[in-house]
Amino acid sequence: MNNREARMSGDRMSQAWDWLSTYPIHPHPELGRDGVVCPYMVKAIRRRYVTMAEFDASEGDQALMALARKLRAGVLERAEELGSDRLYLVGMAVPYGLPDTELKAMVGRVHAALKPEFVELGLMIGDFWPEHETIGLHNDDFRPFTSPIPLLGMRHITPADLPFFVKHEPVPAERLRLLSNFRRLFDGKLNAYWSDRLDEAESAAGQELARSRVAA
């Protein structure tokens, strides 16, 4: 890495950390509920459970996928030591070296490719970039995945993540597959509230899938 690349990487890492250590751990007027944007990040930062890794985007999609899997392996390995604290482990890849439009496209492609295998292993994987289009869970005018630069992050799935698999997955067949993984991950571990919400989500997705097949 030459001096220019080192400065570019350092600037991106600083931007990522500044955003991560401020935005998700504070309330937001458009959030649509009380509390901070991401409650898990409060303890993640306080307990120093965040691992950030720079990534030279000129290496391409496959290299970013490899880095994401390496971060995932580190999260899963450390989770074995932490017990219930594993919920606050966070991994984040910070790409640099290409225009933001290209970084956004790369992060989006890699996120889409890796999401199924991450969910199967019990982890959320998230894509973040400026003016992200995905709407909030509690307010359709809120854009929770907006960040100053494109980023790829991961953490363990929790029962409270169920709405993400419902509201943010428009394809009923894919939603059913994700919900099936969710049920497997939390078999016998959900309280009555989340168990009922899961039953309702699976039923609604099944009905939507049946209607789409009839219409076809």
Q: What span, in angstroms and rounded, lies between the C-alpha atoms of 20 and 92?
A: 10
Give yes or no for residue 213 having a pLDDT over 90.
Answer: no
pLDDT (tens digit per residue) in 177-203: 999 999 999 999 999 999 999 999 999
- The average pLDDT across 118-143 equals 94
**Per-residue pLDDT tens digits for 58-97:** 999 999 999 999 999 999 999 999 988 999 999 999 999 9
Q: What is the pLDDT of residues 44-69, one digit of tens each?
A: 999 999 999 999 999 999 999 999 99
Q: What is the pLDDT averaged over residues 2-25?
A: 84
Binning pLDDT at 50, 70 and 90, where does residue 6 land?
Answer: low
Task: Evaluate whether 26 touches 19 at the Cβ level (below 8 Å).
Answer: no
Task: Flag whether pLDDT at 151 surpasses 70.
Answer: yes
pLDDT of residue 10: 80
CA distance from start to end of the chain: 54
Burial class (CB in 10 A: 0-12, 13-18, 19+), 135: middle
> How big is the CA angle at 214 (ends 210 and 216), to the nearest 5 degrees?
115
Domains of the chain by residue range: 3-157, 164-216
Q: Residues of the chain with pLDDT > 70: what percent?
A: 96
Per-residue confidence (pLDDT) for residue 186, from 0 to 100 = 96
d(CA 130, CA 143): 10
Provide the pLDDT for residue 164: 92
